[in-house]
Structure 1
Amino acid sequence: MFKNTFQSGFLSILYSLGSKPLQIWDKEVVNGQIKRTQDEDIHSNVLEIVGSNVQSTYITCPADPAATLGIKLPFLVMIVKNLKKYFTFEIQVLDDKNVRRRFRASNFQAVTRVKPYICTMPLRMDEGWNTIQLNLADFTRRAYGTNYVETLRVQVHANCRLRRIYFSDRLYSEEELPPEFKLKHDEFQQNKLFWKSLAMVDIHVLWISFESANWLYPNWSL
């Protein structure tokens, strides 16, 4: 999908304020709903994904099941709100052994497990809005001893609210981010190992990194 596109800086695949936020996404809804709604904390439109079963209500990109994203940028960033319900998302990547690996994070899982084709891990989200940052190249290298080539697919399940999902060539400081990539301009800070609440806006930043795996996941197992 983006394989032949020049990639540098930022590449956004979902923005809740866009005219068609799910233009390149497909959705599956069973006993749930996916809609754009006004968030009471940021007073702006966001995409809400809710369902009674996290596995049966989700959005997936690309929309065509036979297509792949072809995004080589190694950092994935999600601006997501914790709805205090079960939530999971999954990233499928290709490594230099030409093997497809999946990384799945869930807020209802307690232990990280690495299997040949899938790595599942706990996701600890604080209340309110969170920014989740994943170093996919580091994940691939540490979990499988191979090199990250590209991201093939992104799938986000219930239950959450989304502002934006994007890839970047590196992690950018808050000052370097374009205003439209911030949840609230100049009311936002980052911390490498833990979430930090702000007085004015309840936003929390989590860097999911294997460097902090022992701190984040004390029950790490292979």
Structure 2
Amino acid sequence: MDWTRNPSKAACSTTLFKVDCCQFCTVLESVRNGHIKRITDEDIQSSVIELLGNNVSTTYVTCPLDPKKTLGIKLPYFVMTVKNMKKYFTFEVQVLDDKGMKRRFRASNFQSTTRVKPFICTMPLRLDEGWNQVQFNLADFVKRAYGSTYVETLRIQIHANCRLRRVYFADRLYTEEELPAEFKLYLPGLHSLLDLMRIKLCGYSPFVFGDQSRLDR
């Protein structure tokens, strides 16, 4: 399935845009000393994509497949339903801002400090045990890190180690009750980490520019 920019698709997806993780094996895979495969998760009894590897940098899926193409998704919220495998895990989202600059945001559970460089912002990620819903306000991060305005998402890349159930973009944060059935994860006691990385950033990890911080600017 081709998830690259499609004007007709964008016109009918003004509030939610789903990247079906059960179709994720059709996008580019890179596997070295690990595996990427579809399995049935024992907790939710549903099909998911499992990414496991000894080195997170060499086991990942990326979308779109063609490096010359982009997703072209303008919705500012990136939402991912992911299972904590109690191993190293990282993911990355590349966006375009109103300065015409491509910026990458990379979150990892093995990093303790948020740092901003001209083309990449790296930050810590904390997941609860079991299934988590990560909600990432891209517009807010672009503004806080670079002082510019979010335009669109170009690419996403999800690395080992995790189980992936759902990835979608939204115009705002939705409650579980508001979401269509296909966007929900049916699991009693699901942790809903509302805007997880924004909370982590505001509470614990200011942007670091050497000896400067832009958290409160």
> Do they superpose with TM above 0.5?
yes
**Counterpart residue number, 1:201:** 189
For residues 132 and 158 of structure 2, the distance between their equivalents in structure 1, rounded to whole angstroms, comes to 15
Q: Structure 2 vs 1, CA of residues 133 and 45 (structure 1 numbering), >3 Å: closer, same or farther?
A: same
How many Å apart are 1:203 and its aligned residue? 3.1
Hey, what does 1:167 align to over in structure 2? Answer: 169
Q: Do the aligned partners of 1:139 and 1:209 also contact (CA within 8 Å) in 2? A: no
Measured in 2, the distance between the counterparts of 1:47 and 1:211 equals: 27
RMSD between aligned residues: 1.6
* Superposed CA offset, 1:154-207 (max 9, x none): 0000000000100011111221111221111xx5xxxxxxxxxxxx43534241
- DSSP-derived class of the 2:195 partner: strand
Question: In 2, are the aligned partners of 1:130 and 1:206 still within 8 Å (CA)?
Answer: no
- Where structure 1 has 5 or more consecutive residues not aligned to the other structure, the ranges are 188-199
Q: Shift of residue 14 of structure 1?
A: 2.6
CA distance in 1, matches of 2:184, 2:190: 13
Q: Distance in 2 between matches of 1:220 and 1:101?
A: 15
Cα displacement (A) at 1:221 = 1.7
Are 1:221 and 2:208 matched, yes or no?
yes
Deviations 1:120-158 (Å, cap 9, x if unpaired)?
Answer: 000001100000000101110110000000000000000
- Inter-CA distance 100–45: structure 2 relative to 1 (3 Å threshold): same
Q: Give me the whole-angstrom Cα distance separating, in 2, the residues matched to 1:31 and 1:92.
A: 26
Matched with 2:89 is: 87
| CA–CA separation in structure 2 for the residues paired with 1:80 and 1:210 | 17
Structure 1 residue 220: deviation in Å? 4.1
The equivalent of 2:214 in structure 1 is none
Q: Which residue number in structure 2 is paired with residue 157 of structure 1? A: 159
Q: Distance in 1 between matches of 2:98 and 2:193?
A: 30
Letter in 1 for 2:103: R
Identity %: 57
Q: Is 1:30 paired with 2:32? A: yes
Deviation at 1:66, TM superposition (A): 1.2
Residue 83 to residue 207, structure 1, CA distance change in 2 (3 Å): same
Matches of 1:141 and 1:134, distance apart in 2: 13
Q: How does the TM-score come out when normalised to structure 1? A: 0.86
TM-score normalised to the size of structure 2?
Answer: 0.88
Q: What is the 5 A alignment of 1:21-100?
A: 21-23=24-26, 25-100=27-102
2:38 touches 2:49 (CA, 8 Å); kept in 1? yes
Structure 2 gaps of 5+ residues are 210-217
What's the CA shift for 1:37?
Answer: 0.7
Q: Which residue of 1 aligns with 2:18?
A: 12
Amino acid at match of 1:108: F
Q: 2 CA distance for matches of 1:216 and 1:136?
A: 19
Q: Does 1:2 align with 2:30?
A: no
What is the CA distance between 1:214 and its match in structure 2? 2.9
Match of 2:123 in 1: 121
Mapped partners of 1:168, 1:31: distance in 2: 34
1:29/1:35 CA distance change after superposition, 3 Å: same
